[in-house]
Amino acid sequence: MSDETIEFRGVRRTFGVTVALKDIDVTVRRGTVHAFVGENGAGKSTALGVLAGRLKPTGGTVTVFGRELPYGDPRACLRDGIAAIYQELTTIPALSPEANVFLGQTFSRFGFLAESRMRRRYVALCERLGVEAKPKGTIAGRLAVADQQLLEVLRALQVDAKVMLFDEPTASLAEHERDAVLTLMERLRDDGITVIFVSHHLEEVLRVCDDITVFRDGAVVSSRPRSEWTHTSMVDAMLGRDESGQMLKEIESGEGASRAPSRRAGTPLLRAEGVSLPGAIEDVSVALQGGEILGLGGMVGSGRTSLLRCLAGLEPRSRGRLWIDGEEVGWPRTVRRALSYGITLVPEDRKGQGLGLALSAADNVVMSDFGAASRFGFVRPSRLRQIATEEAEPFGFAPGRIRSVAGHLSGGNQQKLLLARAANRRPRVMLVDEPTRGIDVGAKGEILVKLQEMVAAGMSIVFVSSELEEVSGVSDRVLVFNAGRVVAELEREAGITPASILGHVLVEETR
The residue from 393, 425, 457 where one domain ends is 425
Please report the pLDDT score of residue 509 as a whole number.
Answer: 45
Q: What is the mean pLDDT of the chain?
A: 84
Length of the chain as a residue count: 511
Beta bridge partners of 214: 37, 222
* Position 318 pLDDT exceeds 70: yes
Give yes or no: residues 296 and 381 share one domain: no
Give yes or no: residues 174 and 208 share one domain: yes
* Position 252 pLDDT exceeds 50: no
- Look at residue 349 and tell me if it is in a domain: no
Please report the pLDDT score of residue 384 as a whole number.
Answer: 83
Please report the pLDDT score of residue 376 as a whole number.
Answer: 73
pLDDT band at 112 (very low <50, low <70, confident <90, very high): low
pLDDT band at 503 (very low <50, low <70, confident <90, very high): confident
In this predicted model, what pLDDT tens digit does every residue of 437-492 receive, in sequence order? 777 777 788 888 888 988 988 899 999 987 788 898 899 999 999 888 999 999 98
Please report the pLDDT score of residue 174 as a whole number.
Answer: 63
Give yes or no: residues 387 and 435 share one domain: no
In this predicted model, what pLDDT tens digit does every residue of 265-290 receive, in sequence order? 578 999 999 999 988 899 999 999 99
**Average pLDDT estimate for 347-359:** 81
Assign residue 436 the CATH number of its domain. 3.40.50.300
Give how many domains the chain has, as a whole number: 3
**Residue 99 dihedral angles phi and psi, to the nearest 5°:** -65, -35
If one counts every other C-beta atom within 10 angstroms of the C-beta of residue 108, the result is 11
Sheet holding 327-329, edge to edge: 281-288, 270-277, 319-324, 327-329
**Average pLDDT estimate for 401-423:** 86
**Average pLDDT estimate for 246-275:** 63
* Helical residues (DSSP H) of 374-467, grouped into ranges: 381-392, 411-424, 441-456
> Residue 508 contacts by C-beta under 8 Å, 6 or more apart in sequence?
482, 483, 487
- Look at residue 481 and tell me if it is in a domain: yes
* Position 316 pLDDT exceeds 50: yes
Which residue range(s) make up the domain with 483? 250-342+427-510
Give yes or no: residues 286 and 435 share one domain: yes
User: pTM for the whole thing?
Assistant: 0.58
Give yes or no: residues 81 and 10 share one domain: yes
Give yes or no: residues 454 and 506 share one domain: yes
Give yes or no: residues 472 and 489 share one domain: yes
- Look at residue 231 and tell me if it is in a domain: yes
- Look at residue 213 and tell me if it is in a domain: yes
Please report the pLDDT score of residue 247 as a whole number.
Answer: 43
pLDDT band at 177 (very low <50, low <70, confident <90, very high): confident
Least confident residue range of 76-90, 243-257, 340-354: 243-257
Percent of the chain scoring above 90 in pLDDT: 36
In this predicted model, what pLDDT tens digit does every residue of 202-231 receive, in sequence order? 888 999 999 999 998 899 999 999 999 998
In this predicted model, what pLDDT tens digit does every residue of 22-70 receive, in sequence order? 999 999 999 999 999 987 678 898 999 999 999 999 999 999 999 999 9
Give yes or no: residues 183 and 313 share one domain: no
Give yes or no: residues 127 and 227 share one domain: yes
pLDDT band at 2 (very low <50, low <70, confident <90, very high): low
- Look at residue 350 and tell me if it is in a domain: no
Give yes or no: residues 368 and 449 share one domain: no
- Look at residue 326 and tell me if it is in a domain: yes
Please report the pLDDT score of residue 69 as a whole number.
Answer: 93
The residue from 190, 214, 242 where one domain ends is 242
With b meaning 16 or more CB within 10 Å and e meaning fewer, what string describes 415-444?
A: bbbbbbbbbbeebbbbbbbbbbbbbbbbbb
The residue from 410, 425, 440 where one domain ends is 425
Residue type, 351: K
CA-to-CA separations, 50 to 6, 43, 64, 81, 126, in angstroms, rounded: 12, 11, 12, 14, 29
> Residue 297 contacts by C-beta under 8 Å, 6 or more apart in sequence?
304, 468, 471, 472, 478, 479, 480, 481, 490, 501, 504, 505
pLDDT band at 160 (very low <50, low <70, confident <90, very high): confident
Please report the pLDDT score of residue 274 as a whole number.
Answer: 95
Please report the pLDDT score of residue 3 as a whole number.
Answer: 73
C-alpha 436/C-alpha 357 separation (Å) is 19
Give yes or no: residues 76 and 143 share one domain: yes
Please report the pLDDT score of residue 248 as a whole number.
Answer: 44
* Position 251 pLDDT exceeds 70: no
pLDDT band at 244 (very low <50, low <70, confident <90, very high): very low
In this predicted model, what pLDDT tens digit does every residue of 56-67 receive, in sequence order? 999 999 999 999
- Look at residue 389 and tell me if it is in a domain: yes
- Look at residue 347 and tell me if it is in a domain: no
Give yes or no: residues 76 and 168 share one domain: yes
